[in-house]
Amino acid sequence: MKPDETFDDILRKASEIKTAQMRDKRRAWEASPEFMKNTMTFDKDESYVAMRKSASVAEKIAFAAPIKEEGNELFAKGKYAQAMAKYTAAVAVFRYWNREQSGREQNVVKYYDDDAIADPDDRRSARNLIRSVYLNAAQCMRKGNLADGPAEIIWTCTEVLAIDPSSAKAHYVRALARAELDDSASLELAVKDLARANALAPNDRAVRDAMRTYGAAHAAQTAKDRAAYGAVFGSRNKEGLYAREELERGAASAGAGTSGGVSDGDADPALRPLQNMPEEELKARCKAMGVDLDNPRVVKELGKRAKARKEEELKAKAREMGIDLGDPSVREMLELLEKEERGAQELSRLPAWRRWIYHSFDGTRWLNVQNAMYAALAVNVVYRVCKVINMPE
């Protein structure tokens, strides 16, 4: 316990932590696909309870692998809903939601996975099976139109890539799901996924076809943005801020079977020439195109557009993690955290004597001016009472 913390403060913080943990669990539950939520249906199945509790990894794989194969057979026959049920049953041995009692709370939802497997070889074997089940489930959801929106397929493929980043199929299926989302940030991520898939499987015709289709859509969106910049700044150059050769996209390279991979963390290839360009050269080049980077209005507009683009990317990534940035409760929490951080930063910049005054009047600290005044008043009352009692009659 810190010197300035009361017991009520500790209880309040414990309550906040508990609430935050429950909120995180709820978000994780809501973000997971329906087939993963359905793993909860096995929490009373005696064979699953025994398997999860005491079976070895080899025994669990021997139990789950035939179920997965049954799912594959149903998938091949076009019985997608039945196949998904089998994939749920297969993965539920290793990764599952469970209802349990936690303290006084009943039916608390908890998530279990394979992280607890100690032996690296056993963990690798388990994850190979999980990866296969997830990848098949993602394709089954897409072909059978079983997903509740593209986010479920994106979630599943992202789990596959967390186990095996070199899965071209996972990149491809995730790209198709991302392309269904109606925003430019998701389209850009889809093109990056396809570029990575094309690098991993350069002879895959489906990947190349998707690269051409969505690469062209991305190029069109880029041209649209370029035209918007030209309209805003009155550019005399129809190519906009960047030259054509710097803005070529993956659509053209897809037709030639490009082999270079682009990971999610790579910078936009179109911007690489500009990142290494000296500032004066960049300014001169933009000025020749009718864009004055020394103009405060231009700088402000560029900043606004860059911020809007970043927010779109942030929303897309948050959606993949099951976080809705449009949710008022989420926005309220983020604003509160930002306010607390900003307040702490401002306080740290104050002179020592001003920080002392601030802390002296801080009602959350037990040693402050208010409490000192109450203590002095209490001592004065006790003194007066004692004085009255001891007065001679």
97 strand-pairing partners: 111
> Are 366 and 325 contained in the same domain?
no
Please write the tens of the pLDDT for every residue from 73-87: 999 999 999 999 999
Checking if the pLDDT of 376 tops 90, the result is no
Three-state DSSP class for 350? coil
Q: Do the domain assignments include residue 368? A: yes
Count of domains forming the chain: 3
Tokens 């103009």 correspond to 295
Where a domain ends, among 129, 164, 199? Answer: 164
Q: Do the domain assignments include residue 258? A: no
> Are 334 and 378 contained in the same domain?
no
Q: What is the pLDDT of residue 364?
A: 57
Count other C-beta atoms under 10 Å from residue 290's C-beta: 14
Helices (H), the chain: 7-31, 34-37, 46-54, 57-76, 80-91, 120-144, 150-163, 168-180, 184-200, 205-233, 250-255, 272-275, 279-288, 296-320, 328-348, 352-360, 369-389
Q: What is the mean pLDDT of the chain?
A: 74
For residue 115, which of 152, 163, 43 has the smallest C-alpha distance? 163
pLDDT bracket for residue 389 (50, 70, 90):
confident
Q: Which helix (DSSP H) or strand (DSSP E) does residue 108 occupy?
A: strand 105-112
Q: Which helix (DSSP H) or strand (DSSP E) does residue 111 occupy?
A: strand 105-112
Q: What is the pLDDT of residue 254?
A: 40
Q: What is the pLDDT of residue 89?
A: 95
For the segment 49-75, the average pLDDT, to the nearest whole number, is 93
> Are 309 and 391 contained in the same domain?
no
pLDDT top residue among 326 and 76: 76
> Are 110 and 148 contained in the same domain?
yes
Q: Do the domain assignments include residue 271? A: no
Where a domain ends, among 349, 369, 384? Answer: 349
Cβ atoms of residues 52 and 110 within 8 Å: no
Instruction: Give 140-145's long-range contacts (Cβ < 8 A, gap of 24+).
Output: 140/71, 140/75, 140/80, 140/83, 140/84, 140/87, 141/33, 141/35, 141/80, 141/84, 142/173, 142/176, 142/177, 143/80, 144/80, 144/81, 144/83, 144/84
> Are 336 and 364 contained in the same domain?
no
pLDDT top residue among 352 and 178: 178
Q: Do the domain assignments include residue 262? A: no
When mean pLDDT is compared over 145-149, 208-212, 356-360, 368-372, the highest value belongs to 208-212
Q: Do the domain assignments include residue 373? A: yes
What Cα–Cα distance (Å) separates residue 262 from each residue in 154, 171, 196, 241, 266? Answer: 18, 11, 5, 24, 6
> Are 376 and 342 contained in the same domain?
no
CATH code of the domain containing 152: 1.25.40
Q: What is the pLDDT of residue 288?
A: 62
> Are 122 and 34 contained in the same domain?
yes
Q: Do the domain assignments include residue 266? A: no
Please write the tens of the pLDDT for every residue from 133-174: 999 999 999 998 887 789 999 999 999 999 999 999 999 999
> Are 126 and 58 contained in the same domain?
yes
> Are 383 and 305 contained in the same domain?
no
CA triplet 187, 30, 65: central angle to 5 degrees? 90
pLDDT top residue among 107 and 277: 107
> Are 366 and 338 contained in the same domain?
no
Q: Do the domain assignments include residue 14? A: no
> Are 64 and 77 contained in the same domain?
yes
Share of the chain above pLDDT 90, in %: 30
Instruction: Give 71-76's long-range contacts (Cβ < 8 A, gap of 24+).
Output: 71/133, 71/136, 71/140, 72/136, 75/136, 75/139, 75/140
Q: What is the pLDDT of residue 242?
A: 41
Q: What is the pLDDT of residue 232?
A: 47
For the segment 356-373, the average pLDDT, to the nearest whole number, is 64
> Are 324 and 373 contained in the same domain?
no
For the segment 269-292, the average pLDDT, to the nearest whole number, is 60
Residue 328's domain comprises 295-349
What Cα–Cα distance (Å) separates residue 29 from each residue in 38, 40, 57, 96, 161? Answer: 11, 11, 25, 11, 20
For the segment 7-11, the average pLDDT, to the nearest whole number, is 55
For residue 99, which of 153, 154, 42, 60 has the smallest C-alpha distance? 42
pLDDT top residue among 348 and 24: 348
336 strand-pairing partners: none
Q: Do the domain assignments include residue 376? A: yes
CA triplet 379, 380, 383: central angle to 5 degrees? 85
Please write the tens of the pLDDT for every residue from 196-255: 999 999 999 999 999 999 988 888 877 776 665 554 444 444 444 444 344 333 434 444
Where a domain ends, among 116, 137, 164? Answer: 164
When mean pLDDT is compared over 24-33, 96-105, 133-142, the highest value belongs to 133-142
Cβ atoms of residues 249 and 223 within 8 Å: no
Please write the tens of the pLDDT for every residue from 107-140: 667 788 888 888 999 999 999 999 999 999 999 9
Q: What is the pLDDT of residue 99?
A: 77
Three-state DSSP class for 110? strand
